[in-house]
Amino acid sequence: MPGKQSVQAPPAPASQAELKARLKSATSNFTPATQSPAPSGSKAPSGQDPKIIGGTPAAVGEAPWMVQLFYNDPVTNQGIFCGGTLVAPGKVLTAAHCVAGRDWTKNGVILGGTTEYPLNGDLHGGQLVNVARQWSNPAFDAGALTGDVAVLTLAAPLPYQTLQPAAADESVAYQPGTPATVYGWGRISSTNQDVSMSLLKATIPVQADATCAAYYNQAPENSFVAGQMTCAGNPASGADAGTVSPCNGDSGGPLVVGNRIVGVVSWGREDCVAAGSYSVYSKLSTFAGLVGPRADDTDLNFDGRADLFARNDATGEGFAYYSQGITIGNRYSLGDWRGYDLVRQADLDRDQRQDFVLRTTGGHLDWYHYAAATNAYAHQDLGGGWGAMKSVALPGDLNGDALTDLLAVDTSGQLWLYPGKGDGAFGNRSALGGGWGPLVLVGKGDYSGDGKADLLAQDTSGKLWLYPGTGRGAFGNRTLAGSAGWTFPGYAATGDVDGDGRADLFARDGAGVLWLYPGNGRGAFGDRYQIGGGWGGYSLIG
């Protein structure tokens, strides 16, 4: 039985005393007019200001995924306040202008589980947590406010419901006139700097790109970038009366249609009520391929880069090899791993600790995972009969519920989908078709760049095929990911190894050389990197 899951301990969460001190500093020092500015300090281009005027209170439990982001700049002693959305228990989607250029790991704190603003340090039953890692879109332009999306990784998962971003192929939600709801704690008037003490919401119509451009792209401004941005709301009246709009402090919060995040509050006119103006949001369908991988990047040593497991055939000893980008570091012993003939990495319960799904030589499936109740790793038997499966893969979320699913091919060549339940178990399987018997299933993550988990399959002629996930429990038409030479005796698909947000693939050739194939985000791979030789004695990799 495995001795341990990983030798690397997760980053220690900050103490509650430290988190409360950060919260106190941030809430004491910010000026609401600039609490969610672009990184330059206040205004976006041409007098625009990141930004619920005219909102109504959101009921308790209506938006459990809403969180509050507080940051205190240690140099200027200025506090910053933004909104965010839990897209996974340990992941917050927000705006890049709230994150870029700031060290949220040292100076930020997240508050979840409450609709109330923490006045005088009262958390109203909410929970504080610090940030362990941060990612802001590297293409974010602080001047133009294009690419305005970011993802924060929390030091510990929060026990609240999550909300998922719109898919890359989403179009219906952006049709003009579609009702959308925006949430936030931002300014409630253009005439003063007071933020809301309770979570507010407003239902506003999505506007056509042409409508937004007609207002914002009058020369010489040209600040609305279709595709990168979407706008919503009726034209502002010029005053609080007759205006419904997000404002300062709402930055980073979600615009929601049909229980999907279609936009992230980005910018608007300064003071938020300029006659004829609209609120502008980062268009999430455009950024699905960037956000998706960052929301599901659990690994063995908690740095966001996928790692490798390998077992020595002669001794049965298992090893973790931590990613160093396009190579791997020194190995670390994980103890005795004899008795298994298949290993896959996947975070089945979304607790931000990597799990192993193992198949015993007796045909049982075993979930090896962290058990919070005992603060130790534990085994859970998922049932027998899996020895008859010719191929098993855990590509990620295939049906759009943000939980990892399992694929298996039986002896007749039928492909089965086992939907993950979020607790290590799987629901009732569904058939996805026959003819899969000759194929070897591999893949973990998004290879096509649309934010959806895909499947790779090697055929008997040495071709590697990409089956693009639809997010609806099925696959689109396959395309070639590799035209020849894919006859490797061993594969390990662990996710994004080099940290660029694209899923990669390890392959071991017949001479015992291990290769890394970096995904290009377009359904194929870049030039491979040689990891090294001597891997012939490691038949179990994953």
8 A C-beta contact, residue 97 and residue 38: yes
Q: State whether residue 93 is helix, strand or coil.
A: strand
Q: Which one of the listed residues 148, 297, 347, 397 is annotated catalytic?
A: 148
For 398, which DSSP code?
S
Q: Is-cis flag, bond preceding 11, omega within 30?
A: no
| Amino acid symbol at 534 | G
Q: State whether residue 187 is helix, strand or coil.
A: strand
Determine the number of helices (DSSP H) and then strands (DSSP E) in the chain.
Answer: 5, 36
| Amino acid symbol at 255 | L
Is 97 catalytic? The answer is yes
Q: Which one of the listed residues 6, 25, 36, 97 is annotated catalytic?
A: 97
How many Cα atoms are found within 13 Å in the side-chain-facing hemisphere of 307?
Answer: 25
Listed in sequence order, the residues at least 6 apart from 250 whose beta carbon sits closer than 8 Å to its beta carbon are 36, 51, 52, 83, 182, 183, 184, 185, 186, 187, 265
Strands 66-72 and 108-112 turn out to be antiparallel
Q: Which one of the listed residues 25, 196, 251, 277 is annotated catalytic?
A: 251
Query: Which string of b and e fits 465-502 if b means at least 16 CB within 10 Å?
Result: bbbbbbbeeebeeeeebbeeebbbebbbbbbbbbbbbb
Catalytic residues: 97, 148, 251
